[in-house]
């Protein structure tokens, strides 16, 4: 499936095709087979870059009461995330759930019946405080850490931290970037428990936004505090709404402010720990988990469509 995704994205950017022969058609058939076999109420599509409009429309012909719901956690107005299959299928969606507030008008204009904005979430079974073994601490331990993909703005900010005499760890696909000797660069990609451990191994986790996506929050914006770790993130209105500045997280607007706050919070362990605890408590108290947020969204879908898909736990 990953190969189909990569090929489809490449061909879409070339403007050549919306199909990957031998891969995507089989996937469409599997979807329709499942709809024929079971009386589903909802066809749930996570980032449907490979599922075609005609497949969704045929599914609705098979099950006239079927509600097609899409969930996307990427900026799909950006060409590097899109496929032509995805954009052409949008009128067949009844619902789209997006974590990009600025993209709600895009989905509405493209024909989705109802679009819901959902702040980012954490997975309760994965993003949690973890105690590391000595070996894991050697692998992931750091004063400052960032787990994520390279962007040139991030490269500069991390280099400025190194120039200021601060030390840290960068995990992700950062090959070929300008590296500072004060930082270790691990070119691995970490998932699941390893991802949570990579967060928990650091005194301060950096919360860079993804500028290529025009982000005002990212998945790590919630995952870091959910792991009980202090987050020092780029300031945005949505970040400040999620976590109170100076109480549940810390924010910066410039590399100078980033350096100053990194130094300050590394030197004030008790204050840093209190903010990390408060950030974690905010995640739990206000229901930032996928389960809690999606339960609220589904209740809203129930009300808006006059249907009853949710039930009491």
Token pair belonging to 284: 């739990």
- 184 with 139, same domain: the answer is yes
- Give the residue from 87, 117, 147 where a domain finishes: 117
Q: Give me the pLDDT at residue 81, please.
A: 83
pLDDT of residue 309: 63
Domain containing residue 192: CATH number: 3.40.50.2000
Residues of the chain falling short of pLDDT 70: 1-25, 309-313
Is the pTM higher than 0.95? The answer reads no
Provide the 3-class DSSP secondary structure of residue 146.
strand
Domain presence at residue 295: no
Residues 202 and 111 occupy one common structural domain: no
> Is the domain of 49 the same as that of 157?
no
Residue 228 is predicted with a pLDDT of 98
Positions of E strands within the chain: 42-46, 67-72, 95-98, 114-117, 142-147, 168-171, 183-186, 202-207, 230-234, 250-252
Residue 7 lies in a domain: yes
C-alpha to C-alpha distance for 253 and 107, rounded to whole angstroms: 30
Whether 39 is covered by a domain: the verdict is yes
Q: How many domains does the chain have?
A: 2
pLDDT for the residue 313: 41
Same domain, 180 and 261: yes
Q: Which domain holds residue 219?
A: 134-285
Residue 145 and residue 281 in one domain: yes
* Residue 126 maps to a domain: no
Eight-state DSSP code of residue 249: B
Residue 311: partners with Cβ closer than 8 Å, 6 or more residues away: none
Task: Give the pLDDT confidence score for residue 18 in this predicted structure.
Answer: 46
What residues are paired with 169 via a beta bridge? Answer: 145, 184
Could you read off the pLDDT of 255-293 as tens digits, one per residue?
999 999 999 999 999 999 999 999 999 999 999 999 999
Verify that 66 and 172 share a domain, yes or no.
no
CB 96 within 8 Å of CB 118:
no
- Would 182 be classed as within a structural domain? yes
């Amino acid at each position: 499936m990953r190969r189909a995704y990569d090929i489809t994205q490449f061909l879409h950017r070339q403007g050549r095709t919306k199909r990957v022969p031998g891969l995507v058609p089989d996937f469409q058939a599997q979807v329709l087979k499942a709809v024929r076999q079971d009386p589903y109420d909802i066809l749930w599509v996570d980032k449907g870059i490979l599922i075609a409009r005609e497949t969704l429309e045929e599914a609705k012909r098979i099950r006239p009461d079927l509600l097609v719901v899409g969930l996307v956690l990427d900026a799909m107005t950006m060409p590097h995330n899109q496929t032509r299959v995805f954009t052409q299928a949008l009128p067949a969606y009844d619902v789209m759930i997006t974590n990009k507030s600025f993209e709600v008008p895009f989905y509405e204009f493209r024909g989705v019946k109802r679009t819901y904005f959902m702040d980012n979430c954490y997975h309760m079974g994965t993003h949690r405080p973890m105690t590391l073994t000595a070996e894991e601490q050697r692998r992931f331990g750091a004063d400052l850490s960032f787990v994520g993909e390279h962007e040139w703005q991030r490269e500069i900010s991390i280099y400025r931290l190194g120039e200021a005499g601060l030390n840290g760890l960068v995990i992700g696909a950062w090959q070929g970037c300008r590296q500072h000797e004060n930082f270790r660069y691990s070119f691995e990609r970490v998932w699941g428990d390893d991802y949570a451990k990579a967060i928990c191994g650091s005194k301060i986790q950096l919360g860079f936004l993804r500028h290529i996506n025009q982000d005002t929050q990212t998945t790590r914006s919630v995952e870091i505090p959910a792991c009980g770790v202090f987050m020092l993130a780029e300031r945005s209105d949505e970040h400040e709404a999620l976590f109170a500045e100076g109480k549940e997280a810390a924010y910066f607007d410039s590399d100078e402010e980033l350096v100053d706050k990194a130094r300050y919070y590394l030197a004030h362990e008790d204050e840093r720990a209190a903010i990390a605890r408060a950030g974690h408590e905010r995640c739990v108290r206000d229901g930032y988990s996928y389960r809690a947020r999606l339960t609220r969204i589904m209740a809203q879908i129930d009300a808006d469509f006059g249907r009853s898909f949710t039930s009491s736990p």
